[in-house]
A and B are shown apart, each in its own frame.
Chain A
Amino acid sequence: MPDQKYSSRPPRWAVKLLERTCPPRDREEVQGDLLELYGYWAELYGEGVARRKYVLNVLGLLPSFARKNRYSLSPKPLHTDMLRNYFTVAVRNLLRRKTYTAINVGGLALGMTTTVLLLLWVQDELSFDRFHRNGEHIYLVVREIDVSGNQVTYGYAPGPVAVAARQQVPGVVQAVRTIENTEVGVLAYGDKTFTGEQCGYVDPAFFTLFNFPVVKGNDKNPFPTRQSIVITQSVAARYFGAAEPLGKNVLVNGKDYYTVTGVINDIPANSDLRFDVFFPFEILHKTRWKSPDEDWGNSGFKTYLRLQPGTSPQAVGQRLTAINRANLPDAVMASKITTKLQPLHQVHLYHPDGTEAGMQMVRIFGIVAVVVLLIACVNYVNLSTAQATQRAREVGIRKVVGAGRGQVFGQFIGESALVFTLAFLLACLLIRLLLPMYNELSGKQLTLSVENTQLFVSLGVTLLVTLLVAGVYPALLLSSFQPLHVLKGKLVAGRGGSSFRKLLVTGQFTASVVLIVSTLIIGRQLEYMREKELGYQKENVFTFWMRGDMGKHYESIRSELQAQPGITGVTASNSNMLDLRNDTGDTDWDGKDPERMFSVYTANVESDFLPFFNLQLLSGQGFKGAQGDSAQFILNETAVRRAGITNPVGKRFKLWRTEGIIIGVVRDFHFKSMHQAIEPMVFYRHKGWRGKLYIKTTGRDAARAIAATEKLWKRYSPAHPFQYSFLDDEYDKYYKAEQRTGVLFRYFAGIAIFISCLGLYGLATYTAQKRTREISIRKILGASVSVIVVLLSREFIKPVVIALAVAVPLAWYAAGEWLSNFAYSIDMEWWVFGLAGALSLMVVLFSVSFQSIKAALANPADSLRSA
């Protein structure tokens, strides 16, 4: 062929491909040949055709198609033929047994979905306040107080602790105090008003100690004056839209203007330091009767310290304890207080004393995640080993033809991997669909983002581990068959195999029963907390904090409201009945042991407060005379007991600087969360501020009563929007987190049980199929349907009964541990366990009997004839 001049070039990628793939020995000549042909084609047919032909030829020359590798034993280095065969066989098997495939894939997908959702929850809980730059060096100051031999730890400290830490304790880089600003009711900008913002007072170093950089404004000096505020970006967007927030004046409570001097990024959802609007801490120097820099007696501040790396938190704690003792006026009290530091990342999940708070639920959910996945794996193992006999011939033939055990093992591991991959894909889909609902249920904002590498790594590990756990055993079993035996049909279907399956079913149901019992107990405890008699009537009472001038006109408001037909009572106090916060150690009484630490919650109330709430007096009488008569105290039972006062009525009692006598003892009632035991408390009357108004209605007339109240609100406090809440709603809110976990737990336990039943259903189907002929012959010989159903169900009842026996003590122990967290908890009653047992037996019978009855009802002639 004559040499052709070539003007165009073949496609570059094809040239590269050839270069890359052609064996080096032939590369030069092949490249040359093709180039020559290309020139020839280009001349003959044109460039387009030539390029196409060139590409076709390059593809034709790919090494696996052209020269065979003379060094490899197999014609294809990756044994692709064999792989294809494995794949075909696997797909055929999956398609042939659609029920089992559905159970396996569906169960595993459900299990994986549950696990991922639970892990997301766990991960979110564990991530709280872990994103701060110097997070490992930040600590919360907590104080352990010895109350008559009991150690109680609070996460609050007096104001001067931060000042002392900054100035006198080596190793403390920064110290910041925060406290909620509850006085703010309404913020206004222009004609827009906003309520419900989380407001707080913070020291200026707040934004640098934590990772909340000031994106607009000066982070060295975020509050240039006392009239400054710092806001988050979303607040800025809501108030000012796209306009520049810095320098804008916001009206607070309709009285004072504050200038926005800083904007920070929104505080992430996984932080407990959630404020929207920050006020300078300095304001408190002015508004409190004693500056928080000097007042050692009042401890309401969350105090955070950043330590120099390498500083021992214990040493800092000891130093602070000493400083506290040197400064506290009451030496006895001071000696009972120990200051400690709690690492910031523990604050969310642990109590200040280091015991588990939310951590317990995190752990429980983590365990449930693993258990649910294991249950799904058990299904897979059971169904694939049960069906192993059906694959025995295949294994035999493969081995006879030359497959080694390793290859057969690989084949079955591969099949498991296929099923798991299918399940995984389905799970991904499910998670996508369920995530919004799950977020609503859990009250979180979880996302499955690509950046969440930690989760994906743990997912991958989960997948691998489950594959190992669930895939290895069946593969080992299947690859162990002896070809001679299976081909002669002498395979002993494995007594050992079937008892192993029973063992797994037992384990599975043990987990299920424990979950059922836990669900019941958690549900009952939550219900108990919601319904428990608090010791007073909280029904049909609505309440609000009085704003504007309402407090000044309390008497007229009260008489006007009481004139309303639907309203049966009006009273007020200085505190929230559901959550008393003011406590003091500044008390005295006749015969007080000076060594005794006595702390008491206080409530300043109207004279009619006790009858209003139906609080019962055990002895003595209620408040008498005018509100101004502050010399009367009513103690609760616990206070009397803790103080050690006998025959308290008429005894002298001193609260702060007010001397008086104890006029009555009230029966204990709950004024704190149900987690806490009832503490000592005292009712007193004082002229001081009583801003919390309580209005009781007949229930039917609640709407009218609220309308009437709103009218009064508008008259005395027009600047504020009317806000109220019903006491029982508010009470429920305290337990919202628990209710949520309760509901979540119920769902997950339900899923776990469902997956277990899926597995049993599969096994029952398999047994019924395997014994079709036996059943037919029994029927022909005269067995009744019920006999056969019992026969088929019996083998499943036994493992479940054993599971019950194992599960009950386990559940007893676990539930006991959980309940011990509550100061007031239900007793564990036997019927809970009975119910759980009956429930699990019922679902087992249901899932098994469906197949048994079907098998028992079938016409024996059909199965025998077809045989």
Chain B
Amino acid sequence: MKGTYLGEFEEIVLLAVCVLHEDAYGVSITDEINIRTGRPAHLSAVHTALYRLEEKGLVSSELGGATQARGGRRKRLFRVTAAGKTALREARELRNQFWNRIPAVVWEGGAI
């Protein structure tokens, strides 16, 4: 159970990793989340989520891409794994199933 379940924030981080593709690391992911969701994500929170995802095997990482702004230090670049893709797909699938089963009247009826 523990291995496959995706928390809401984790899901967003994982999606951001997919979106950023080859350039997904701590700062860019935080940035992406800040811009897209409009809610302030802390670097530490993102790191925590990333490490957890890595422990679950949903992302993999490698070091690379040192820049001067980083004081010459390398980034840890994250990439989504097959398991990560499956987890995302399953999450989406789950939602879709729910979406599909919502009776149309819910959207039309307004207040009862």
Q: A65 an interface residue at 8 Å Cβ cutoff?
A: yes
- Asked whether, in the complex, the Cβ of B43 is within 8 Å of the Cβ of A34, the reply is yes
- Asked whether, in the complex, the Cβ of B44 is within 8 Å of the Cβ of A36, the reply is no
CA of A40 to CA of B26, assembled, Å: 14
Do A29 and B69 form a contact, CB below 8 Å, given A37-B43, A67-B51? no
A635 to chain B, nearest CB (A): 102
- Asked whether, in the complex, the Cβ of A33 is within 8 Å of the Cβ of B71, the reply is no
B65 to chain A, nearest CB (A): 9
Q: B11 an interface residue at 8 Å Cβ cutoff?
A: no
- Asked whether, in the complex, the Cβ of B69 is within 8 Å of the Cβ of A6, the reply is yes
Residues of B contacting A70 in the complex (Cβ-Cβ under 8 angstroms): 55
CA of A623 to CA of B75, assembled, Å: 117
A40 to chain B, nearest CB (A): 8
Q: A4 an interface residue at 8 Å Cβ cutoff?
A: yes
Contact count A vs B, C-beta below 8 Å? 76
- Asked whether, in the complex, the Cβ of B42 is within 8 Å of the Cβ of A60, the reply is yes
Q: B70 an interface residue at 8 Å Cβ cutoff?
A: yes
Do A32 and B44 form a contact, CB below 8 Å, given A1-B27, A66-B51? no
A291 to chain B, nearest CB (A): 90
A69 to chain B, nearest CB (A): 11
Do A61 and B69 form a contact, CB below 8 Å, given A29-B25, A29-B76, A33-B25? no
- Asked whether, in the complex, the Cβ of B70 is within 8 Å of the Cβ of A33, the reply is yes
Q: A35 an interface residue at 8 Å Cβ cutoff?
A: yes
What 0/1 pattern do residues 1 to 31 of B give for CB contact below 8 A with A? 0000000000000000000000001111011
- Asked whether, in the complex, the Cβ of B69 is within 8 Å of the Cβ of A35, the reply is yes
What 0/1 pattern do residues 44 to 84 of B give for CB contact below 8 A with A? 11011001000100000001001111110111100000000
Q: A26 an interface residue at 8 Å Cβ cutoff?
A: yes
Q: A3 an interface residue at 8 Å Cβ cutoff?
A: yes
Residues of A contacting B66 in the complex (Cβ-Cβ under 8 angstroms): 32
- Asked whether, in the complex, the Cβ of B68 is within 8 Å of the Cβ of A3, the reply is yes
From B30, B42, B44, B73, contact of A35 by CB (8 A):
B73
Residues of A contacting B73 in the complex (Cβ-Cβ under 8 angstroms): 28-29, 31-32, 35
CA of A39 to CA of B28, assembled, Å: 14
- Asked whether, in the complex, the Cβ of A57 is within 8 Å of the Cβ of B71, the reply is no
- Asked whether, in the complex, the Cβ of A33 is within 8 Å of the Cβ of B26, the reply is yes
Do A60 and B45 form a contact, CB below 8 Å, given A28-B73, A29-B26, A32-B75? yes
From A28, A35, A67, contact of B48 by CB (8 A):
A67
- Asked whether, in the complex, the Cβ of B44 is within 8 Å of the Cβ of A33, the reply is no
Residues of A contacting B28 in the complex (Cβ-Cβ under 8 angstroms): 1
Which chain B residue shows the least CB distance to A70? B55
Residues of A contacting B25 in the complex (Cβ-Cβ under 8 angstroms): 29, 33
Q: Which of A3, A28, A30, A70 neighbours the largest number of chain B CB atoms within 10 Å of its CB?
A: A28
- Asked whether, in the complex, the Cβ of A1 is within 8 Å of the Cβ of B70, the reply is no
Which chain B residue shows the least CB distance to A33? B26
Which chain B residue shows the least CB distance to A4? B69
- Asked whether, in the complex, the Cβ of B27 is within 8 Å of the Cβ of A33, the reply is yes
B16 to chain A, nearest CB (A): 13
B54 to chain A, nearest CB (A): 9
Residues of B contacting A657 in the complex (Cβ-Cβ under 8 angstroms): none
From A1, A56, A66, contact of B47 by CB (8 A):
A66
A381 to chain B, nearest CB (A): 48
From B27, B45, B75, B76, contact of A37 by CB (8 A):
B27
Interchain Cβ contacts under 8 Å between A and B, 18 examples: A1-B27, A1-B28, A6-B69, A26-B76, A28-B63, A28-B74, A29-B25, A29-B75, A29-B76, A32-B71, A33-B43, A34-B43, A35-B71, A36-B67, A36-B69, A40-B27, A56-B42, A61-B44
Write the residues of chain A forming the contact surface with B, with a CB cutoff of 8 angstroms.
1, 3-6, 26, 28-37, 39-40, 56-57, 60-61, 65-67, 70
Write the residues of chain B forming the contact surface with A, with a CB cutoff of 8 angstroms.
25-28, 30-31, 42-45, 47-48, 51, 55, 63, 66-71, 73-76
- Given A1-B28, A29-B76, 20 extra CB contacts under 8 A: A3-B67, A3-B69, A4-B69, A5-B69, A28-B63, A29-B74, A31-B70, A31-B73, A32-B74, A33-B25, A33-B26, A35-B73, A36-B67, A36-B69, A37-B30, A60-B45, A65-B44, A67-B47, A67-B48, A67-B51
